[in-house]
Amino acid sequence: MKTIAYYISDYGYGHASRSIGIIRKLLNEPEVQIIVCHSFALTFIKKSLHSNRVSYRNIKTDIGYLLEKDSIFPDKDILLKEYKSFVADWDQYIQQEREFLRENNVDLVISDISPLPFEVAASLAITSVGISNFTWSAYQGLIEEVELITYKEAYHKMTYFYSLAGSQERWDLYSNKYGFFSRDVDVHEVNRIRSMVNPNRNKKIIFLGLGMKIGVDALEQLSIRNSQNCVFLVSSNVQVNHSNVFQIPRDYLESQHYIAASDLVISKAGWGMIGEAINANIPLLILNRPSMKEESEYYQLS
C-alpha cells in the first residue's frame, strides 16, 4: 500500500472541489491510501469522499484570501497581518510536518497548493508534486514581494509542478501543463435541477458564483427583482428571499450539477468554477478584480 499525503490550500472551496476530483481518480488504484491535510472545507471534503482508504488531518495549510467587509475585494492590511503571523511559526510547522511524514511512512506528497510540505519532503527525499494555476504569485500586488520569500523558497523545493490552465509562472524544475478539469457530472441530476427551478422551461437559469468566503449580498445590487425572465442559482451562504432565487442546499455536495444546469454563469474568476462551467459548455461572465494577480491571468486567455 502506497501512502499519499494530499495537502489542500485553505483558500476556499475551489481548491477542495478540484482536489476531490483528483482524489476520486487516485482511489481507482486499489493500492493507494490518502491522508487529506486541510482545515477550511474539511467537512465538505469528508462528506464528498467515501472510502476507508482516505483519512483526514485537520491542519491549517495556508492563509487564503481575506476580504474587506461586505466586499469581493481583498483586505491587504489583514492579509499581510495573517501572512506574517503564519510564517512567524514556520519552523514549528516544518518540524510538525517532518514528524507527520515520517510517522505515516508517506511515499508521495501532493499539494494544491499549500507551501508547507515541500521543504520537508525534499529533506526526507520524498517526491512532491505541486498542482495549481498559481503559487506565491497569487499574493503579488497584495503583499510586498520581499515579504513572500518564505513561500517562494518553499515552492522552489517542489519535485514536480503540474501547471493548470491560466498559470503564467515558469519553474526551473520538471513541469507539465494541464487544462481545466472538474468533478464528473450526472446528466440525470442536471435535468432534475432544471425541472425543479424552471419547470415551464420558459426562463433563463443564471448561476451567480461569488464564492463561499464572500459575505456580501451582491444580488441586491444586481436588481434581480426586475429580472422576471430569469431564475438565479446562488450558494447556500447567500441569504436572499426572492421567488426567482434558488439557494443550493447547504448539505448538497456536488454543486457542479447546478452550474451544468445553467444557461449562464456569472462568477468571480475562481479556477474551479471556471473549470466546471467550461467542461459543461456553459457561457461565462467573469467579474473583474484587478488587484487579484491569480484572476488577472484568466483575462489573458480570453
Q: 170 and 46 in one domain?
A: yes
Global pTM exceeds 0.85: yes
**CA–CA separation, 160 vs 100, rounded Å?**
21
Q: 24 and 77 in one domain?
A: yes
**CA–CA separation, 165 vs 177, rounded Å?**
7
Last residue of a domain, one of 139, 158, 178: 178
Q: 191 and 216 in one domain?
A: yes
Taking alpha carbons only, the member of 246, 254, 251, 249 closest to residue 207 is: 246
The C-alpha cell of 272 is what? 474551479
Structural domains of the chain, count:
2
Domain with 293, as residue range(s), is: 187-301
Q: 81 and 54 in one domain?
A: yes
Per-residue pLDDT tens for 162-220?
999 989 888 888 889 999 999 999 999 999 999 999 999 999 999 988 765 444 455 55
Please answer whether residues 129 and 111 qualify as being in contact, where contact means their C-beta atoms are separated by less than 8 angstroms: yes
Give the per-residue pLDDT at 212: 53
Q: 174 and 199 in one domain?
A: no
Q: 114 and 219 in one domain?
A: no
Q: 267 and 296 in one domain?
A: yes
Q: How many CB atoms lie within 10 A of CB 283?
A: 11
Cβ neighbours of residue 253 closer than 8 Å, sequence gap 6 or more: 44, 47, 48
Please answer whether residues 40 and 12 qualify as being in contact, where contact means their C-beta atoms are separated by less than 8 angstroms: yes
CA dist list (Å): 224 to 70, 177, 244, 265: 18, 39, 8, 15
Please state, rounded to an integer, the average pLDDT across all residues of the chain. 89
Residue 295 clears pLDDT 80, i.e. is over it:
no
Q: How many CB atoms lie within 10 A of CB 79?
A: 18
Q: 153 and 114 in one domain?
A: yes
- Helix, coil or strand: residue 77: helix
Q: 170 vs 277, which has greater pLDDT?
A: 277
Residue 158 clears pLDDT 80, i.e. is over it:
yes
φ, ψ of residue 33 in degrees (nearest 5) = -125, 145
Q: 232 and 157 in one domain?
A: no
Q: 239 and 124 in one domain?
A: no
**CA–CA separation, 87 vs 294, rounded Å?**
21
**CA–CA separation, 46 vs 36, rounded Å?**
9
Q: List the CATH number of the domain containing 253.
A: 3.40.50.2000
Please answer whether residues 287 and 130 qualify as being in contact, where contact means their C-beta atoms are separated by less than 8 angstroms: no
Residues of the chain above pLDDT 70, percent: 89
Q: 161 and 220 in one domain?
A: no
Last residue of a domain, one of 123, 146, 178: 178
Q: How many CB atoms lie within 10 A of CB 241?
A: 6
Last residue of a domain, one of 120, 150, 178: 178
Please list the residues that pair with 209 across neighbouring strands. 267
Residue 155 clears pLDDT 80, i.e. is over it:
yes
Per-residue pLDDT tens for 113-151?
999 999 999 999 999 999 999 999 889 889 999 999 999
**CA–CA separation, 291 vs 295, rounded Å?**
9
Q: 77 and 142 in one domain?
A: yes
